[in-house]
Amino acid sequence: MSKKVLVVGGVAGGATTVARLRRLDENLEIILFERGEYISFANCGLPYYIGGTIEERDALLVQTPESMEKRFNIDVRIKNEVIKILKDEKKIEVKDLSTGKIYEESYDYLVLSPGSTPLRPPIPGIDSPNIFSLWNIPDTDAIYGFIKENCPKKAVVVGGGFIGLEMAENLHELGIEVSIVEMLNQVMAPLDFEMAEIIHEHIKSKGGNLYLGDGVQTFDYKDGKTTITLQSGKTIETDLVILSIGIRPNGELAKDAGLEVNQRGGIVVDKNLRTSDKNIFAIGDAIEVIDFVNKTKTMVPLAGPANKQGRIVANNIVGRKEEYKGTQGTSVAKVFDMTVASTGNNEKTLNKLGKEYGKDYLISFIHAKSHAGYYPEALPITIKLIFDLEGKILGAQSVGYDGVDKRIDVIATAIRFGGTIYDLKELELAYAPPYSSAKDPVNMAGYVAENILNKDVDTIFWNELDDLDRENSIILDVTDPEEREMGYVEGSINIPLNDLRDRLDELDKDKLIVPYCGIGIRGYIASRILVQNGFKAKNFAGGFMTYGNLFCKDENDCGGRIQSENIEYTDHGEIKVIGNEDDSRKTLKINISELTCPTPSKEINEAIEKIDDGDILEILSSDPNFSERMKTWCSNTRNTFVKGERVDKGFLVTVKKGLNK
């Protein structure tokens, strides 16, 4: 006699389970219950349909009930909600939402894939007609229809996670001015703060408004507009609000049935994904999993793990014993032009676990190029690597433009197989100039980590600068003088790296020397020179690029001497010169995008000397921070910053020689 399997919930986990079950056993009786209309849809694609990148709504539907029934011979029951589990009788109660009829269905095995629900806290005014959450197809239709009908000019996204940032990007693509409100001091919780700051600056460069470390106190709807009052007292007027505050697991059904759940309501399962009842399995957003890296219990709502869990449950039901070995939280997101990705544990997680975890860790930064720097359109990529004192990789984060996903996937694979930083440096990865460098950024991350672990270099990080004893230390800028005009660490002294050996007598051996350069390479070389000549030295990790992301917010920071004249921000975050255009001005264009560290200040200085006052210099760079650095350069060299913009081949900065009169 064939067995009967009931699956509660579709989308990623449930749909995968039933398809795998049928492929393994043609004789099983399989029934899939879904309280909504859609059993399998691309929920990660919903923001891109709203923004117009995905043009056809039907493209979001992975499987329809009809196609699932026909292909896999499965009884698919949409608009049927499972309201009760009678585990002692091995039955469930189901409500047909179309008719209101309640009926029972027996099972041999029950699989729970109930998913999760967006949080909607009891904030006054939260039920206003222009406030939406995005989680499923009906939500998508509601937001899409509202935008089509009302043509909003301003939108506020509450929450800076994956969905929040993807919605912000897609609303911006529709020409809507977007503000993001986030209770934490950063967006993208999987990132550590210094990595998130790269994203913050990028959002601002796109004209996005950020309200960090602030939450919503009230929504006040009137005449089609909502005034949001924040906990800080600030107010924002908007036409549209998207809530992306977080989610809660749909564990009520399991809890009411007497199955074990955790404090968050997540369903507790064993290594085979069985609940506390041997005939009931659970998968997806609603279950408690093991963190693959630190082996503690956690909850990670991601589509990839849910699909894998569905396959494992199907295998176990038909007798193919398989364990789920944990979730490491590998994720990637597109934020406007940038890509952000992470895997494993971040510092926040490790610090929270503290002594309970029982492991110390080290970190390293690299700023590299997506492919060979001499090949056109090489764009920057930043990788933060976290590893223990034996070199085992605990986590990684990356932000950049091209190749971010590739590098995180390589490191994620290394973590899954218990890899170390030594494995990263030994990996033989595909290389050709359009795709990578002979020493891929993943290899470089391994090299830098090895230098730290082997104590070839000691490092100091951005969050340790405030604790640095400035009386007994020297911050040493080893960049070239022209490069220093683009910004420097306040209080530092400048000795270019190539001059360092001849000028060691200018430094005090009783003080700690902290060398830094543009991205860290020359700082490392300086540290090696200093240590081998009897000095105490700590290289500043990540160099001025990391420092600038965190501390250089306008042209008066980091060495800027004067306020640029007659410059204002446009509505979209670009910068323009106020005043009459002079059609007689000459324009000189230079491309420094293929030049690497040190920052090619020499080429810029030579170019500006070739033109007259009032003429224009256009500079193409591959550095996303180039605009900010050029503001400081203009401030220090008494030239006028006109604008900075993202273009197809990199980042274009326009400068007018001289100051506006």
Choose the catalytic residue: 44, 552, 558, 634: 44
- 283 neighbors 310 (Cβ within 8 angstroms): yes
Structure tokens that stand for 101 in this block? 């009829």
- Sign of the four-CA dihedral 619, 548, 499, 448: negative
What's the distance, CA 105 to chain centroid?
Answer: 43
The strands making up 650-656's β-sheet, listed across from edge to edge, are 587-591, 616-621, 650-656, 640-647
Q: What residues contact 268, with CB distance under 8 A and at least 6 apart?
A: 259, 260, 261, 262, 275, 276, 287, 288
Structure tokens that stand for 574 in this block? 């670009």
Give the pairing type, strands 393-400 and 338-344. antiparallel
What is the DSSP code string of 148-164? HHH--SEEEEE--SHHH
558 part of the active site: no
- 631 neighbors 205 (Cβ within 8 angstroms): no
Instruction: Tell which residue, 479, 547, 537, has the closest CA to residue 508.
Output: 537
- State phi, psi for 136 to the nearest 5 degrees: -145, -175
Write the secondary structure of 41-102 as one string of H (helix), E (strand) and C (coil): ECHHHHHHHHCCCCCCHHHHEEECHHHHHHHHCCEEEECEEEEEEECCCCEEEEEECCCCCE
- Residue 282's alpha-carbon distances to 270, 307, 580, in angstroms, are 10, 12, 67
Structure tokens that stand for 456 in this block? 């070839």
Catalytic site residues?
Answer: 44
